[in-house]
Amino acid sequence: MLDANTHLPIKGAMVYLAESPHHTTYTDTSGNFRLKASRNFHLIYVAPGGSWPNDKTAIAQISHPKYQLYEFDAYAGGNLGDLMLKPERR
């Protein structure tokens, strides 16, 4: 996680899954983070009216008070490379 202007690491940015299960982690002093893999398991379920539960998305968000909200696809997995956060406009 780097500042888009200075390319310096961002410490303490919160990285989390936007929907359930809500896993959260924070970037370290080097701007790195690791978000644990999770599974969404359903035993047999029949909803009233025959509808299924909503599909789960894997949108992860990164927030920090000094930067604009950043979203990415958590299914991408692995090393995402350098993610650049834009400073909040004042």
| Domain boundaries of the chain, sorted by first residue | 2-85
**Residues 37, 46: Cα–Cα separation, whole Å:** 27
Architecture per CATH, domain 2-85, reads as Sandwich (2.60)
**What is the full per-residue pLDDT of the chain (90 aa) written as tens digits?**
999 999 999 999 999 988 877 789 999 999 999 877 655 554 555 556 555 555 556 789 999 999 999 998 877 667 788 999 999 986
**Residues 12, 50: Cα–Cα separation, whole Å:** 44
